Chain A
C-alpha cells in the first residue's frame, strides 16, 4: 500500500476526481468500441505502425487538437476564476497548476504538434518527394511527442500537476518550494517530446536539402517549405539547450545537486537564462511556419504570386539568426544594469524589422490581386492587423525601461497571446482548412467556418485587449484572485466573456468537421482552391506514394505554371516506386520511453532500469535489422491513379 501512496493527488478536489472517472470511462469506451467494431488490426496496421508522412502529420494534428481542448479547458477555468473579484471557484494551488498546465500544453503539445503536423503533411508534397528522408525516425518523433504529451497529461490524476509556471523558474521549481512530483513530470514530459522534436528537425532539414524534385533549386521552393527549413534549423540549435537545462533541473530535484539552488555555489538565474536561450527561438519555431502558411494562403486567394520572395526568405533567415540574440529581454528586471539591457533592447527591436517587411510583403501580395474571402483567407486577413498589434506591443515591451512596468503583468500576457493566437493558431486553422481536401478528399463547410472565424476573432479581441489595460493598471499575471478595490473586475469579466466566445468558436470548428464529413460532396477534384504550389499537382486525397511520377519543376509555383503557362510537370513515364515498410518499433520504443519517464518521475528505479534496457534493446534490434522497404508495381500505381483521376 505504501508503494501506491506516492500516486495519490496531493491537492485533491471533486473536479479532479470527476476528470479521473471521465478519463477512465473514455478509455474503456475506446477499448470496447475498437473491439466491437473489430478495428484493432486496422488501427495497428494503418496508423500505429505507419511511417507515411501524411498519416503521421494527421496524427500530429489530431493530437494537437486534443491538446488544444485540454489547454482551452484550462484557459476557460482561469478566466472563470478571475472573472469576478475574490472568486473561490479555484483555490491558489489549483489555479497555479491550471496555468502551468495551460502554458506547457499549449506551447509544447498543441502549437508545436500543430506546426510539425503541418510540416509533415505538406513539405514532402511541396517538394515533390514520396516521404521524408528518415520515415521511421519520423514515426519515432511522433510517438515520442505523444508519449511526452500523455505523460504530462496524466500528472493531474496521478501524483499532482506541476505548479511553478510553464517557465518553471528555480528555486520555485526546486523541491524546497514545489514538493510534489509535478515538476518532475514537467522535466520528463518535455525531455521526451523534446528528443522527438530534435529528430524531426534533423529529418526535415535533410528531407528539404536532399529530396527536392528535379529543377527545384532552393530559391524555387514554395514559401512554406522555406519556413519549414528555417524552423528546423532553429529546432536543431535550440532544443539541445533545453535538453541540458531539463537534465540539470532533474538532477537538482531528484539527485540533490545545486545547479539552480541559491546555496553551495548554485545560481538560480542560470535556469532562466538556459530556459530562454531555448525559449525565445522556440517562439520563432512556432511563428515561422505560420508565416509560411500565410504566404501560401494569401498568394492563392489573391490569385497572385507572392510579393518579394527573396526578401521573404532573407527576413526569415535574419529572424532565425537573431532569435538567438534576444533572450535576455525575458528578464530585463533581473538587474544586470542598463548596458546589458540596452543591448538586448536594441536586438529585440531590430527583430521587428524583418517581421515588418513580411507584413508589407503580404499587403503587396494582395495589391492588384483578385481577393476571394474564403475561410483560410479570412484567417490570414484577420492575422495581419491583430498580429501587427501583437508585434507593436512587443516593440513596446522591448523598451527596457518601460518593460520594468510591463513585466510580469497582464500586459505581457495580452502581448504574447496577441502574437501566438492570431499568429500561430489562426495560421493552423487557415492551413488546416486549406489543406483539408488534400488530407481527406472533401472540403470543410465555408459557412460554418466563417462563423467560427468571427467568433474566434471577436472573442480574441474581447478576451485579450482588456488585459493590456489591466496590466497597465497593475494587475500582475498569475494571480489567482484580486480584491474588489483594485477595480480589475469589469475588464476581467469582459475577458471571460471573450474566452467564452472563443470556446464557442472551437466547438463550431469541430462541429464543422462533423458536418462536412456528413454532408460535403466527395468529388472536389484536384484543385478546389485554384492553388499555385506543387502539392496541388497530386490527387485529393493523396495516394500513399504521393506522386505517381516524379515532377519536374521550374519555379516556386510549379502547379500554377503547369495550369497557366503550359509547363509540363510529369515528363517521365510511370516506374515502380520504392516505399519504406511500416514498423511497430517506433510505438514500442515510445511506450518504453513513457514507462521510463513515468518511473523516473516517481523514482521507481527498477522501472527506470527495465525501461532503459528495453530502449537499448530496441536500438540494438534496429541496427541488426535488414529492412529495405518494398516496391509498388507499375500496374498498381496506374490503377490507383485511374481511380483518383490524378496526374496526367
Chain B
C-alpha cells in the first residue's frame, strides 16, 4: 500500500506543479506551432493517465482480492489457459488507442511542419540560424543584418528559420514558439513558426555539442512589425559591417555575448543548401551535376568544396 501512497503523493505533487503559478514552458505556448504541440501533449497526457489509472486499479484489485493471506490454506488456484474473448479485448483496446493517437500524431506533425493556418498568404521572414561552438549566428538576408546569440522577430508574420551548423549537430529550440529541429553541417533544415504575443522567449541548443553546451543559449524577442522595422533601421545606422575575417574569429570555440552587425556571413560563407550542400538527399540530378563539377578539379585536390 506504500506504493499507492507514493503515487497519490506524486499525483498531488504533479498537480500542484502543473497548475502552479509558473506554467511549464512547453505547456505555455506563444504561437500556433507550440500551441498545436501543447494540445497534443495535453491530450496524450490525459489518455495516458486513464491507461495508467486503469492498470493500477486492476493491479490493486488483483493484489487485494487474491493475496494469499486472505485465502484459505487449501485453496488451489485453477489452471486457466486463456480466453479468446478476453484476449481479443486486451488486443483491441490498445489497438484502438494507438490508431487514434496515430491519426493525431500524423496530422499534428504535418501541421507543425508547415506554415501555420491563417498565415499561408503572408510572405515569411527568412532567418538563417547557424550554430558554432557554442554560439548562434542569425542572418537576415532580406534586412541584410546579422546578430549573435539573440534574434528579433516580428509578431503575426511567419518566420522561416533555416538551420545549419559549423560543427557538431545542434538542435534549435524555442520551447514557447515551436519544437526542435537539428542543425547539421552538410544540409539546411527548416522551422516554420509564428509568434503571436510580443515578449522575450528563451531559446537554446538542445542537442549535446561538447564542453560549452550548457550555455549555448540565445534570446528571442518578438515585437510588432513597426518596432521590428525600427530595430532594423537602427542597426543599419549604428552597427558595423561583418567582415569575413571577423566572422572566422567568431567561429572559434567559446562563448560570446550578444553582437550585432550589418551585412550577413552568407555573402562570403553561403549556407550548405542548393549547390553548396555537402550531400544530397535522393536528388539524383543535383548529385550528378555535383559530380561533374568535381571532375574538373584535379584529383589530388582533397579540399572540401563546401568550405570554400
- B185 with A262: CB separation less than 8 A: yes
Give chain B residues whose Cβ lies under 8 Å from the Cβ of A458. Answer: 2, 6
A572: CB under 8 A from chain B? Answer: no
- A333 with B179: CB separation less than 8 A: yes
Q: Using A263-B307, A264-B302, A353-B95 as known contacts, say yes or no to A454 and B2 having CB atoms under 8 A apart.
A: yes
Q: Which of B84-92, B148-156, B239-247 contacts A (4 or more CB under 8 A)?
A: B84-92
- A353 with B94: CB separation less than 8 A: yes
- B66 with A370: CB separation less than 8 A: yes
- A169 with B168: CB separation less than 8 A: yes
Residues 228 to 283 of chain A near chain B (Cβ within 8 Å)? 262-269, 272
**How far, in whole Å, are A466 and B106 apart by their CA atoms in the complex?**
29
Give chain A residues whose Cβ lies under 8 Å from the Cβ of B302. Answer: 264
**How far, in whole Å, are A360 and B91 apart by their CA atoms in the complex?**
9
Give chain B residues whose Cβ lies under 8 Å from the Cβ of A342. Answer: 105-106, 109-110
- A356 with B106: CB separation less than 8 A: no
Cβ contact of B175, chosen from A372, A405, A457, A469, cutoff 8 A:
A405
Cβ contact of A304, chosen from B10, B80, B87, B179, cutoff 8 A:
B80
- A461 with B182: CB separation less than 8 A: no
Q: Which of A386-394, A426-434, A610-618 contacts B (4 or more CB under 8 A)?
A: A386-394
**How far, in whole Å, are A38 and B63 apart by their CA atoms in the complex?**
52
Shortest Cβ distance from A327 into chain B, in angstroms? 16
**How far, in whole Å, are A401 and B101 apart by their CA atoms in the complex?**
11
Shortest Cβ distance from A96 into chain B, in angstroms? 7
B269: CB under 8 A from chain A? Answer: no
A384: CB under 8 A from chain B? Answer: yes
Number of interface residues of A (CB under 8 A): 99
**How far, in whole Å, are A359 and B204 apart by their CA atoms in the complex?**
39
**How far, in whole Å, are A177 and B211 apart by their CA atoms in the complex?**
10
Beta-carbon nearest neighbor of B188 in chain A: A335
- A399 with B51: CB separation less than 8 A: no
- B206 with A407: CB separation less than 8 A: yes
**How far, in whole Å, are A265 and B189 apart by their CA atoms in the complex?**
18
Shortest Cβ distance from A216 into chain B, in angstroms? 18
Give chain B residues whose Cβ lies under 8 Å from the Cβ of A480. Answer: 213-214
Give chain B residues whose Cβ lies under 8 Å from the Cβ of A263. Answer: 278, 304, 306-307
Beta-carbon nearest neighbor of A335 in chain B: B189
Cβ contact of A408, chosen from B41, B95, B207, cutoff 8 A:
B207
A588: CB under 8 A from chain B? Answer: no
Give the interface centre of A262, A310, A361 by most chain B CB atoms within 10 Å: A262
Q: Which of A21-29, A138-146, A343-351, A512-520 contacts B (4 or more CB under 8 A)?
A: A343-351
B251: CB under 8 A from chain A? Answer: no
**How far, in whole Å, are A310 and B91 apart by their CA atoms in the complex?**
13
Residues 383 to 439 of chain A near chain B (Cβ within 8 Å)? 384-385, 388-389, 392-393, 395-396, 398-405, 407-409
Residues 365 to 381 of chain A near chain B (Cβ within 8 Å)? 366-373, 381
- B105 with A309: CB separation less than 8 A: no
Q: Which of B67-75, B137-145, B226-234 contacts A (4 or more CB under 8 A)?
A: B67-75
- A474 with B207: CB separation less than 8 A: no
Give chain A residues whose Cβ lies under 8 Å from the Cβ of B68. Answer: 303, 370-372
Shortest Cβ distance from B54 into chain A, in angstroms? 9
- A171 with B62: CB separation less than 8 A: no
Q: Using A172-B168, A177-B210, A268-B185 as known contacts, say yes or no to A389 and B52 having CB atoms under 8 A apart.
A: yes
- B178 with A404: CB separation less than 8 A: yes
Q: Convert A353-364 into 0s and 1s, putting 1 for each residue whose CB lies closer than 8 angstroms to a CB of B.
A: 100110111011
B31: CB under 8 A from chain A? Answer: no
A69: CB under 8 A from chain B? Answer: no
- B279 with A349: CB separation less than 8 A: no
Give chain B residues whose Cβ lies under 8 Å from the Cβ of A331. Answer: 182
Q: Using A267-B186, A382-B3, A479-B214 as known contacts, say yes or no to A262 and B306 having CB atoms under 8 A apart.
A: yes
Number of interface residues of B (CB under 8 A): 99
- A303 with B108: CB separation less than 8 A: no
Cβ contact of B56, chosen from A303, A385, A396, cutoff 8 A:
A385
Beta-carbon nearest neighbor of B42 in chain A: A402
Cβ contact of B104, chosen from A399, A403, A473, cutoff 8 A:
A399
Interface SS of chain A: helix
A341: CB under 8 A from chain B? Answer: yes
A308: CB under 8 A from chain B? Answer: yes
Q: Convert B165-185 into 0s and 1s, putting 1 for each residue whose CB lies closer than 8 angstroms to a CB of A.
A: 001110101010011111011
Shortest Cβ distance from B26 into chain A, in angstroms? 5
B286: CB under 8 A from chain A? Answer: no
Give chain B residues whose Cβ lies under 8 Å from the Cβ of A359. Answer: 55
- B206 with A388: CB separation less than 8 A: no
A165: CB under 8 A from chain B? Answer: yes
Shortest Cβ distance from A340 into chain B, in angstroms? 10
- B79 with A305: CB separation less than 8 A: yes
Q: Convert A449-472 into 0s and 1s, putting 1 for each residue whose CB lies closer than 8 angstroms to a CB of B.
A: 000001001100100010001001
Give the interface centre of A177, A311, A399, A458 by most chain B CB atoms within 10 Å: A399
Shortest Cβ distance from B276 into chain A, in angstroms? 12
- A341 with B109: CB separation less than 8 A: yes
**How far, in whole Å, are A335 and B63 apart by their CA atoms in the complex?**
47
A477: CB under 8 A from chain B? Answer: yes
- B167 with A349: CB separation less than 8 A: no
Q: Convert B265-308 into 0s and 1s, putting 1 for each residue whose CB lies closer than 8 angstroms to a CB of A.
A: 00000000000001101000000000000000000001010110
**How far, in whole Å, are A382 and B2 apart by their CA atoms in the complex?**
11
**How far, in whole Å, are A178 and B133 apart by their CA atoms in the complex?**
13
**How far, in whole Å, are A591 and B19 apart by their CA atoms in the complex?**
58
Q: Using A334-B182, A338-B110, A352-B98 as known contacts, say yes or no to A457 and B3 having CB atoms under 8 A apart.
A: yes
Give chain B residues whose Cβ lies under 8 Å from the Cβ of A305. Answer: 79-81
Cβ contact of A469, chosen from B14, B94, B169, B190, cutoff 8 A:
B14
- A262 with B91: CB separation less than 8 A: no
- A361 with B90: CB separation less than 8 A: yes
- A472 with B51: CB separation less than 8 A: no
Give chain B residues whose Cβ lies under 8 Å from the Cβ of A454. Answer: 2
- A478 with B208: CB separation less than 8 A: yes
Residues 10 to 61 of chain B near chain A (Cβ within 8 Å)? 10, 13-14, 17-18, 22, 24-27, 34, 36-38, 40-41, 44-45, 48, 51-52, 55-56, 58-59
Shortest Cβ distance from B159 into chain A, in angstroms? 16
- A402 with B40: CB separation less than 8 A: yes
- B59 with A363: CB separation less than 8 A: yes
Give chain A residues whose Cβ lies under 8 Å from the Cβ of B133. Answer: 177
B119: CB under 8 A from chain A? Answer: no
A92: CB under 8 A from chain B? Answer: yes
B129: CB under 8 A from chain A? Answer: no
Give chain A residues whose Cβ lies under 8 Å from the Cβ of B76. Answer: 303, 370
B102: CB under 8 A from chain A? Answer: yes
Cβ contact of A171, chosen from B18, B63, B169, cutoff 8 A:
B169
Cβ contact of A396, chosen from B10, B48, B106, B171, cutoff 8 A:
B48
**How far, in whole Å, are A366 and B78 apart by their CA atoms in the complex?**
11
Cβ contact of B169, chosen from A169, A264, A350, A366, cutoff 8 A:
A169
Q: Using A262-B186, A333-B171, A338-B109 as known contacts, say yes or no to A92 and B214 having CB atoms under 8 A apart.
A: yes
- B175 with A400: CB separation less than 8 A: no
- B186 with A353: CB separation less than 8 A: no
- B25 with A473: CB separation less than 8 A: yes
Cβ contact of A385, chosen from B3, B98, B167, B206, cutoff 8 A:
B3
Cβ contact of A370, chosen from B48, B55, B75, B105, cutoff 8 A:
B75
User: Can you report 14 A-B residue pairs in the complex whose CB atoms are below 8 A from each other?
Assistant: A269-B184, A304-B78, A342-B106, A346-B102, A364-B86, A366-B59, A368-B66, A370-B71, A399-B44, A404-B112, A405-B37, A407-B206, A473-B26, A474-B204
Nearest 7 Cβ contacts at the A-B interface: A404-B179, A262-B185, A335-B189, A263-B304, A392-B48, A172-B168, A401-B108
A: residues with CB less than 8 A from B are: 92-93, 96, 163-165, 169, 171-172, 176-178, 262-269, 272, 302-305, 307-311, 331, 333-338, 341-342, 345-346, 349-350, 352-353, 356-357, 359-361, 363-364, 366-373, 381-382, 384-385, 388-389, 392-393, 395-396, 398-405, 407-409, 454, 457-458, 461, 465, 469, 472-474, 476-482, 487, 491
For the complex with contacts A342-B110, A370-B76, A396-B41, 9 further pairs of A-B residues with Cβ separation under 8 Å are A177-B167, A304-B78, A338-B106, A342-B109, A349-B98, A385-B55, A407-B180, A461-B10, A480-B213
